[in-house]
């Protein structure tokens, strides 16, 4: 016979414990969900990595520009310092000549001692005195005039050198900043790749390798002519070599380093960065492209390659593990315009 005894009600302390346990379970479940978001898939990671490589290239081209300015400034400063040193020697010789003339005349009593004042660093104030001028020969006045001109020239050169030294200091600072920016972007790209499994990374690399081979086969049948064709042929010999910030060959390249090197092999000198290479020839549209023309990509023009025909570009692609000198469809990047050099 069933019992009609009322079931025992849980105590208040038991209810409180159960409630607290349930709340804790919900909180832990919520935290777990927040701590373990959906892992990005292979295509999402590739998109992020490609964007980071692009940002690294932007910094690389700015680095190249700063490096180019640094090299030029160092040469200009060295030339100015050499000019100042030689000018000072010439000034000393002129002063010695004037001193010898003055000494000879003083010994014979033909000139006042005040002439020695003209041998100071600033003889102009004494030249203004008519009594002194009246006692100088035409040759002495000519020598003093040359001394004054040389002093002015040296002062200008020293001032110019000081300005260039200040520019050099600022350029070196920019160089370090752009190098760090590029390295930070590359580190971020590698961190993104590391979120993928080894299988996904291998699959990405396999896909890119197949695409590169297809692009190379499509472009390989095209032959250029003239200096542009010679530049393209030279670049083709570098296929497979790696990408490295600031490098212009012959073992490693960045994008503008490759194009500069390739045209140099064709006997043509072009400037160092994408931002200046855009002005090294005549701008043309896509329908006008011929093999070897420079082709520029992205809104800020931070990437350049050589048109390889059949809609392909030969370029130092990016600094990642699948980058380096290779062929790639132009449609993989936002094309802006071409430049025909010469």
Burial class (CB in 10 A: 0-12, 13-18, 19+), 211: middle
To the query of whether residue 4 is one of the catalytic residues in this protein, the response is: no
Where residue 313 falls (left for φ over 0; alpha for ψ -120 to 50; beta otherwise) is beta
How far, in Å, CA of 147 to CA of 141, rounded? 10
Burial class (CB in 10 A: 0-12, 13-18, 19+), 306: buried
The pairing of beta strand 252-253 with beta strand 242-243? parallel
Contact 244, 319 (CB under 8 A): yes
To the query of whether residue 315 is one of the catalytic residues in this protein, the response is: yes
To the query of whether residue 303 is one of the catalytic residues in this protein, the response is: yes
- List 4, 302, 315, 318, catalytic entry: 315
Q: Return the closest-CA partner of residue 75 out of 194, 176, 171, 164.
A: 164
Q: Where in the sequence numbering do the catalytic residues fall?
A: 255, 303, 315
């Amino acid at each position: 016979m069933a019992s009609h005894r009322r079931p025992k009600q849980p105590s208040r302390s038991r209810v409180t414990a159960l409630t607290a346990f349930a709340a804790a379970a919900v909180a832990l479940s919520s935290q777990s969900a927040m701590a373990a978001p959906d892992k990005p898939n292979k295509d999402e990671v590739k998109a992020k990595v490609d964007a980071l490589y692009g940002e690294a290239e932007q910094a690389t081209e700015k680095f190249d520009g700063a490096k180019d300015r640094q090299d030029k400034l160092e040469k200009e400063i060295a030339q100015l310092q050499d000019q100042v040193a030689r000018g000072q020697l010439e000034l000393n010789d002129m002063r010695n000549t004037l001193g010898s003339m003055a000494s000879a005349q003083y010994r014979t009593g033909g000139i006042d001692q005040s002439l020695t004042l003209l041998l100071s660093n600033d003889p102009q104030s004494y030249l203004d005195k008519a009594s002194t001028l009246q006692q100088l020969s035409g040759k002495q006045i000519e020598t003093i005039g040359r001394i004054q001109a040389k002093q002015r020239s040296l002062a200008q050169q020293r001032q110019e050198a000081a300005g260039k030294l200040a520019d050099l200091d600022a350029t070196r600072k920019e160089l370090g900043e752009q190098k760090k920016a590029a390295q930070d972007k590359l580190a971020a790209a590698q961190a993104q790749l590391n979120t993928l499994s080894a299988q996904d990374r291998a699959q990405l690399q396999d896909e890119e390798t197949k695409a590169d081979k297809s692009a190379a086969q499509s472009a390989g049948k095209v032959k250029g002519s003239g200096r542009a064709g010679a530049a393209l042929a030279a670049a083709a010999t570098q296929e497979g070599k790696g990408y490295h910030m600031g490098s212009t060959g012959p073992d490693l390249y960045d994008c503008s380093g490759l194009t500069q090197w390739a045209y140099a092999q064709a006997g043509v000198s072009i400037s160092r960065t994408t931002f200046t290479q855009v002005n090294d020839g005549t701008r043309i549209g896509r329908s006008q492209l011929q093999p070897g023309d420079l082709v520029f990509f992205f809104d800020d023009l931070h990437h350049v390659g050589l048109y390889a025909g059949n809609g392909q570009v030969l370029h130092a692609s990016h600094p990642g593990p699948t980058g380096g000198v290779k062929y790639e469809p132009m449609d993989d990047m936002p094309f802006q315009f071409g430049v025909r050099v010469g």
